[in-house]
Chains A and B, each alone.
Chain A
Amino acid sequence: DVKVTQSSRYLVKRTGEKVFLECVQDMDHENMFWYRQDPGLGLRLIYFSYDVKMKEKGDIPEGYSVSREKKERFSLILESASTNQTSMYLCASSPRGGGAGTEAFFGQGTRLTVV
């Protein structure tokens, strides 16, 4: 079974804190993604990575950075947390290539609250 594991289910942080969200996948997937999900807005892509040390901005990268030092691990960093970053954060991975079998596998999500 493919497994994408996010380090925390729930997090509460203070405004201005530096926050790290960790994600690990065990299927040797090349692609990894960070989304945030907000009511009425759906899933919005923050960053994605298609290889170690590679990263690409998604639709809403402002206020975030990422790190991919190892293939199985993709970290999302909130440099200085703000209340408008309160959200559900979802990590996903997928194999490179095309065709059937390139669906995304998601972690269980991290509900982050910034107070």
Chain B
Amino acid sequence: SQKIEQNSEALNIQEGKTATLTCNYTNYSPAYLQWYRQDPGRGPVFLLLIRENEKEKRKERLKVTFDTTLKQSLFHITASQPADSATYLCALDPSGGANNLFFGTGTRLTVIP
């Protein structure tokens, strides 16, 4: 069956350090992989998208890697801040048209001042 796993339910990190979140998948061949941020009681907000033929994507303090051989994406937040505390979701898009996104269960990140 199809499965998307995010490395842990919760991750605590000291302010200023780099947070690394993992998304592993099986039985998919995603055209795109997306990362979202979700704050408590809110809907997810899109952060970054990476294509299957891209190894790495950056946006400000965010970096995403995509290894289709390992079936894994890593999401990094450098120089983390308490405001980065949120749940982060990865989503696989098999078609590339966002007609159906398959979401992981999320990792709740807490950045400790």
The finding on whether chains A and B are genuine partners in a shared complex, rather than unrelated, reads yes
Please report A residues at the B interface, Cβ cutoff 8 Å: 4, 31, 33, 35, 40-43, 45, 48, 50, 58, 90, 92, 94-100, 102-109, 111
Q: For residue B49, give the distance in angstroms from its CB to the closest CB of chain A.
A: 6
Residue B113 is within 8 A (CB to CB) of chain A in the complex: no
Known contacts A41-B105, A102-B32, A102-B93; 7 additional CB pairs below 8 A are A42-B89, A50-B99, A90-B43, A94-B98, A106-B44, A106-B45, A109-B42
Chain B residues within 8 Å of A90, by CB: 43-44
State A94–B91 Cα separation when bound (angstroms). 14
Partner of B104, one of A42, A50, A102: A42
Q: For residue A30, give the distance in angstroms from its CB to the closest CB of chain B.
A: 9
Residue B101 is within 8 A (CB to CB) of chain A in the complex: yes
B100 touches A102 (CB 8 A): no
State A22–B71 Cα separation when bound (angstroms). 37
Total cross-chain contacts (CB, 8 A): 65
A100 touches B49 (CB 8 A): yes
Chain B residues within 8 Å of A102, by CB: 32, 93, 96-98
A108 touches B100 (CB 8 A): no
Chain A residues within 8 Å of B105, by CB: 40-42
B42 touches A103 (CB 8 A): no
B46 touches A108 (CB 8 A): no
State A88–B37 Cα separation when bound (angstroms). 16
Q: With CB as the reference atom, state the residue of chain B lying closest to A44.
A: B103
State A41–B97 Cα separation when bound (angstroms). 24
B34 touches A106 (CB 8 A): no
B99 touches A103 (CB 8 A): no
Partner of B49, one of A33, A40, A97, A103: A103
Chain B residues within 8 Å of A103, by CB: 34, 46, 49, 98
